[in-house]
Chains A and B, each alone.
Chain A
Amino acid sequence: MRLLVVEDNVPLADELVASLNRQGYATDWLADGRDADYQGSSEPYDLIILDLGLPGKPGLEVLRAWRARGLATPVLILTARGSWAERIDGLKAGADDYLTKPFHPEELLLRVQALLRRAHGLANQPLLEAGGLALDEARQSCRRNGEDIELTAGEFRLLRYFMLHPGQVLSKSQLAEHLYDGETERDSNVIEVHINRLRGKLGRELIQTRRGQGYCFGAAS
């Protein structure tokens, strides 16, 4: 999952990005409204966390510009302006959720998780369930038939992306775009290695290879 954080306060952004990274999200960070306006709609983000008081261009205008261009990515507004009138303005501009500062980091992670599931049409349950697997996003482990399966950070990221897109054919470049942030060098071999390890832990038939197209998760079940 690839996230964009737009926040002009550097210490807060540092903490946010670090905390999101620990949860296995590939996170890009921008501080200026104009940059966000451009990059938010040009890169394939799965979710955007947007502050309202931004230099360059106010957050609400950035959001309106995205929505006007047809960007459907879920947007969570993170702001110190917590009055209901401002919340309503935010949601009217096209936000999907609204969190006021100061906030608990777990609260933010839960909201992000819920928004991602909602965006993929999944119910908001404690565990992410797909293809006969249950994924515990907080503990970054996977459970099948009552048996816990430990995952590395890279495997967890990949599996979560697959489980949010069950039955869809995902190309290698698409996976790379959504699993790594803009800074990381994308090496398609790494993805192949992770897929092979997941097949080793969960069974070969769970992730099928579609020659010339990519991979498909849970198509058999």
Chain B
Amino acid sequence: MRSIQRSLSLGLVAILVIVGLVLLQTSLWLFEAGLKRSLETDLREETEGLLLAVVRGSEGMKLDIQRLNPRYHRAFSGHYFLIQLPGQTWRSRSLWDASPAWPEAPGLAPELLAGPRDQRLLAYTAHYQREGQAIVISVAQDYTPVLDSFARVRLSGLGLVGMALLVFLLLQRYAVSLALHPLERARRQIAQLQQGQRQQLEGDVPLELQPLVEQINHLLLHTDETLKRSRNALGNLGHALKTPLAVLTSLLEREELAAHPQLRAALEEQLGQIQQRVSRELGRARLAGEVLPGGHFDCDAELPALFDTLATIHRPGLDLRWQAPPGCRLPWDREDMLELLGNLLDNACKWAAGQVRLRIERHADGYLLLVDDDGPGIPAERREQALARGARLDEHAQGHGLGLSIVGDIVAAWHGDWELAQGPLGGLRVRVTLPLPGRQARATVDQ
């Protein structure tokens, strides 16, 4: 999964590391160059001092020891010289037995020389003329302490870069989470949409998100309208088909047909098949399924009306009760859920001796609906068969053509499951398990 936060962090880290290292190294280089320039001046002055120490003696040129800096006498002091005259060479005592590869060319040696005791030497050579004699004076200075301090500076510089990196990352994380807050809010709203807790996304979002949110809202509205329109059209089609069917069914009762019982039976059977087919297909076409993410069923608002309806159309004296978690909102389309519960409860009412119970339970991964009655029930060996046949459990009762087949269609559209069992009231228990819509969608995508 790609995250904006992570890719922003990666980019920032890369830029900070590169910039930090380049800055550190460049400043070290510039500093070293300046340092070398000032050291070069010092070394040149040193050679001039040494030149003064070369004096005329009784037997030609000689080195006046008194005029030498004492550090040239201490062994490995870090300051060395070599004075070359034609036929004569003086080395500083501090060199002891070491013989560095003194540079020939005048000026600062381009490379550091290997000195005694692992010292790295910065060397300078100068050519002089004194009384017609060429004098080459080379001086060298131990450069190791400078290198060491450079290494220390580089290390602490790296540490500083690291610290800056950390501080920047934390600040960036904060800034990004602040900037991404509207995105996070939109994400939460979409999750609520999926659970049926809202119908629209809030329009109060930054400019960059505006088109996205507007488009989603437009789509939601459009889907909702399309569903309503197609349901209305299906209702009209149903009306257009069912009214003539009702006429034909009534015509079957005519006296004229009583004389032809076989004809009447054949007509009745065919009409019955048409009716069943029309009802089933129209019912199936009406289902919203998972089209509408904003759909929901508010138990406290819908169930009392549904139970009033059931109580009105069934014989009086039936004890109908329901039980659901407080404030329960089922994340499915209202009409689909009414159709599911209505058919299940209607069936239970037809069979019940006196009691019908609906129980809705919330589970971690979905909902469980239990419909119990105290009627005769269905023997265990016939339950599978009853479900498999499209469940014409209501075969005995006339009137409600759709029956339980539509229940199977709805449960299938919601990727749920349903089964028949022995109920606690002695009759049939219908157990419907429905996974949460969002989960199912994700699971399908993962596959």
- B-contacting residues of A (Cβ < 8 Å)? 9, 11-12, 15-16, 19, 53, 79-88, 91-92, 96-107, 118, 124
Contacts and interface: CB of A to CB of B under 8 A. Distances in A.
Contacts of A86: 235
B156 interface: no
17 contacts: A9-B243, A11-B247, A79-B239, A81-B235, A81-B238, A82-B402, A83-B338, A87-B309, A87-B342, A88-B338, A100-B401, A102-B242, A102-B245, A102-B246, A104-B399, A105-B249, A118-B316
Nearest to A96: B312
A100 to B, nearest CB: 7
B160 to A, nearest CB: 70
A98 B316 CA distance: 15
B154 interface: no
A84 B342 contact: yes
A84 B251 contact: no
Contact of B309 (A11, A88, A100, A103): A88
Contacts of A98: 309, 313
Interface in B302-317: 302, 305-306, 308-309, 312-313, 315-316
A81 B236 CA distance: 8
B250 A100 contact: no
Contacts of B125: none
B339 A85 contact: yes
B398 A107 contact: yes
B243 A101 contact: yes
Q: Which of A19, A85, A98 has its CB near the most chain B CB atoms (within 10 A)? A: A85
Nearest to A97: B313
B249 A80 contact: no
A83 B286 contact: yes
Contacts of B283: 83
Interface in B244-278: 244-251, 253, 271, 275
B421 to A, nearest CB: 24
A92 B305 contact: yes
A74 B384 CA distance: 42
Contacts of B334: 85
B343 interface: yes
A84 B343 CA distance: 8
Contacts of A124: 315
Name the 10 nearest CB pairs between A and B, nearest first. A84-B342, A15-B250, A80-B242, A102-B245, A80-B239, A102-B246, A101-B242, A101-B246, A84-B338, A85-B335
B242 A105 contact: no
A64 to B, nearest CB: 16
B315 A53 contact: no
A92 B312 CA distance: 11
A136 to B, nearest CB: 19
Given A88-B338, A100-B400, A105 B309 contact: no
Interface string B108-152: 000000000000000000000000000000000000000000000
Interface string B224-247: 000000000001001111111111
Given A91-B305, A101-B246, 6 more contacts: A85-B338, A96-B312, A102-B271, A103-B399, A107-B398, A118-B316
B94 interface: no
A87 B339 CA distance: 10
A88 B313 contact: no
B197 interface: no
Given A80-B239, A88-B338, A100 B312 contact: no
Q: At the interface, is chain B mostly helix, strand, loop or mixed? A: helix
B103 to A, nearest CB: 101
B245 A15 contact: no
A102 B342 contact: no
A24 to B, nearest CB: 16
B195 interface: no
B342 A100 contact: no
Contact of B308 (A19, A91, A107): A91
Interface string B384-419: 000000000000001111100000000000000000
B236 to A, nearest CB: 8
A80 B343 contact: no
A45 to B, nearest CB: 20
A15 B249 CA distance: 10
B239 A53 contact: yes
B47 interface: no
Given A102-B242, A105-B249, A105-B250, A88 B305 contact: yes
A80 B401 contact: no
Nearest to A81: B235
B335 A83 contact: yes
Contacts of B399: 99-100, 103-104, 107
Q: Which of B243, B341, B343, B398 has its CB near the most chain A CB atoms (within 10 A)? A: B243
A97 B312 contact: yes
Q: Which of B248, B309, B398, B401 has its CB near the most chain A CB atoms (within 10 A)? A: B309
B279 interface: yes
Contacts of B308: 91
Given A87-B309, A102-B275, A16 B342 contact: no
A19 B253 contact: yes
Q: Which of A83, A100, A102, A105 has its CB near the most chain B CB atoms (within 10 A)? A: A102
Contacts of A83: 235, 283, 286, 335, 338-339
B281 to A, nearest CB: 13
Contacts of B239: 53, 79-81, 101
A84 B231 CA distance: 13
A102 B343 contact: no
Nearest to A16: B250
Interface string B335-364: 100110111000000000000000000000
